[in-house]
């Protein structure tokens, strides 16, 4: 297929996924704000259309579909908590709007010249790849919203993940030395992943798999939430203020047994799955209790991407081949994490399992620009978030689409955030 045909197929795939995700929801659930932390799902749908209108229509020289909607769907103009008060498009109107925008965007696609030197946005079809990833990211955001639904919850059905066999070793040694951090020639890479640059990392040990629910329950049974020794000042203050006693959506059923709420449904807690819905402070406290720490962002990326045998970078932990169902749990295939050890074919060169998919993994690092960073195509994607307010997450989750998963991809959020599909693994100095 030509580049334009590939682009059109990727856009359609993203839209099909969005509509399939929303299909089980009533109009009432689409317009309801399930939590002040998140937008009504119908806002996300309208925002996806508005973003496409901005970048695949107007930015490429064509007349916009509904420029009057810009103030409503500008993610920086209105906090999420206030969005239900806006004159949002209703579910039917939003579907019609995103369809009209898509028709105009495809008309423009027929006319533009990919790699037109006068339009940097078209180099390597970048703007189209950016918009595809943006819609998939909002699909994950909508799933995080649905995780906050009350019972009866989200009614989509998915097959169970494959069984897991825990790795034979609890941690692996990653050798010291330099490696290339960030993206070099990846057409899908976004601005905060660039430029690729050499980083020197001291040798370290890192967990072979993410921390499981069972592991984390041991921390709670040992009184970890009430022991000041494991928490830094900010984390301890937040634990007290928020009344944290366990991961979000967990429910104690007995002295040592737990259940959870997933997508609005009550179920038993699977002890062999990666723990999720823990904030950075909780992850750090657990690591301290284990006598370890969270990996730095550079350590995480080296463990995930570097092949010491060849001295080269891998796009995915297992190599450069695209993700498959036997390598990673991605794209809401199972509507939750898979047991640890379920994807041995997806291990990194160092032997780290499940570094793509299942749960986003907290690192110790603050979200900062790489040396030589250049904001492109707009500062609100990355630049405005740099600084101590945000910590870096890596690896993608079960809800992340493969187009937004690569060993260089950077996610970020506040250290107190828990409703996202976040977990972690530990590291320690060698």
**Number of folded domains in the chain?**
2
Residues 62 and 172 in one domain: no
Residues 270 and 416 in one domain: yes
Residues 216 and 288 in one domain: yes
Positive/negative CA dihedral, 352, 338, 428, 369: positive
What secondary structure, in 3-state letters, does 339-390 show?
CCCCCHHHCCCCCCCCCCECCEEEEEEEECCCCCCCCCCCCCCCHHHCEEEE
| The pLDDT value given to residue 166 | 83
Q: 């928020």: which residue's tokens?
A: 242
Residues 123 and 163 in one domain: no
Residues of the chain with pLDDT under 70: none
- 152 in a structural domain: no
- 287 in a structural domain: yes
Return the structure tokens found at 165. Answer: 């066999």
- 358 in a structural domain: yes
- 223 in a structural domain: yes
- 237 in a structural domain: yes
Q: What's the whole-model pTM score?
A: 0.96
Residues 340 and 419 in one domain: yes
Residues 45 and 161 in one domain: no
Q: What is the pLDDT of residues 15-36, one digit of tens each?
A: 999 999 999 999 999 999 999 9
Q: Give the CATH number, domain containing residue 108.
A: 1.20.120.450
Examine the fold and report which residue of 99, 126, 146 is the final residue of a domain before the chain moves on. Answer: 146
- 151 in a structural domain: no
Residues 35 and 94 in one domain: yes
- 108 in a structural domain: yes
Helix (H) or strand (E) holding 394, with range, is: strand 387-394
- 283 in a structural domain: yes
Q: N- to C-terminal Cα distance for the chain?
A: 49
Residues 93 and 182 in one domain: no
Examine the fold and report which residue of 122, 146, 170 is the final residue of a domain before the chain moves on. Answer: 146
Residues 169 and 287 in one domain: yes
Which range marks the domain in which residue 34 is found? 3-146
| The pLDDT value given to residue 43 | 98
| Cα 387 from Cα 99, distance rounded (Å) | 37
| The pLDDT value given to residue 332 | 95
Residues 84 and 194 in one domain: no
Examine the fold and report which residue of 118, 146, 174 is the final residue of a domain before the chain moves on. Answer: 146
| The pLDDT value given to residue 157 | 84
Residues 333 and 371 in one domain: yes
Q: Give the CATH number, domain containing residue 399.
A: 3.90.1580.10
| The pLDDT value given to residue 156 | 80
| The pLDDT value given to residue 151 | 82
| The pLDDT value given to residue 1 | 83
Decide: 207 and 425 in contact? Cβ < 8 Å: yes
**Burial class (CB within 10 angstroms; exposed 0-12, middle 13-18, buried 19+) of 160:** exposed
Residues 193 and 44 in one domain: no
């Amino acid at each position: 297929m030509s580049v334009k045909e590939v682009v059109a197929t990727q856009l359609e795939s993203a839209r099909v996924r969005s509509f399939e995700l929303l299909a089980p929801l009533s109009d009432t659930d689409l317009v309801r704000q399930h939590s002040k932390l998140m937008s009504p799902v119908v806002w996300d749908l309208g925002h996806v259309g508005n973003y496409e209108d901005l970048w695949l229509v107007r930015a490429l020289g064509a007349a916009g579909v509904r420029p009057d909607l810009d103030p409503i769907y500008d993610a920086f103009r209105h906090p999420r908590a206030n969005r239900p008060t806006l004159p949002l498009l209703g579910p039917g109107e939003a579907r019609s709007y995103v369809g009209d925008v898509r028709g105009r965007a495809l008309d423009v696609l027929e006319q533009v010249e990919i790699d037109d030197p006068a339009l940097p946005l078209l180099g390597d079809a970048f703007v189209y790849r950016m918009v595809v990833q943006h819609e998939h990211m909002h699909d994950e955001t909508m799933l995080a919203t649905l995780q906050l639904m009350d019972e009866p919850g989200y009614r989509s059905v998915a097959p169970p993940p494959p069984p897991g066999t825990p790795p034979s070793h609890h941690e692996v040694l990653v050798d010291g030395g330099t490696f290339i951090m960030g993206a070099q020639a990846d057409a899908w890479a976004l601005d905060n992943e660039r430029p690729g640059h050499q980083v020197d990392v001291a040798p370290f040990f890192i967990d072979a798999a993410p921390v499981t629910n069972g592991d984390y329950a041991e921390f709670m049974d040992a009184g970890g939430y009430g022991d000041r020794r494991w928490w830094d000042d900010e984390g301890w203050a937040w634990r007290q203020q928020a009344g944290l006693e366990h991961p979000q959506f967990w429910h104690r059923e007995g002295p040592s047994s737990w259940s959870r709420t997933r997508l609005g449904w009550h179920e038993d807690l699977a002890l062999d799955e990666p723990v999720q819905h823990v904030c950075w402070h909780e992850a750090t406290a657990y690591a301290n209790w284990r006598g370890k720490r969270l990996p730095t962002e550079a350590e995480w990326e080296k463990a995930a991407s570097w092949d010491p045998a060849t001295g080269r970078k891998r796009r995915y932990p297992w190599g450069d081949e695209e993700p498959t169902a036997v390598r990673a749990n991605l794209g809401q295939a199972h509507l939750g994490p898979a047991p640890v050890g379920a994807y041995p074919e997806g291990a990194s060169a160092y032997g780290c399992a499940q570094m793509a998919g299942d749960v986003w993994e907290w690192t110790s690092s603050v979200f900062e620009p790489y040396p030589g960073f250049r904001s492109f195509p707009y500062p609100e994607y990355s630049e405005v978030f740099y600084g101590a307010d945000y910590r870096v997450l890596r690896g993608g989750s079960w809800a992340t689409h493969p187009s937004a998963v690569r060993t260089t991809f950077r996610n970020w959020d506040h250290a107190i955030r828990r409703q996202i599909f976040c977990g972690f693994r530990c590291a320690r100095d060698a």
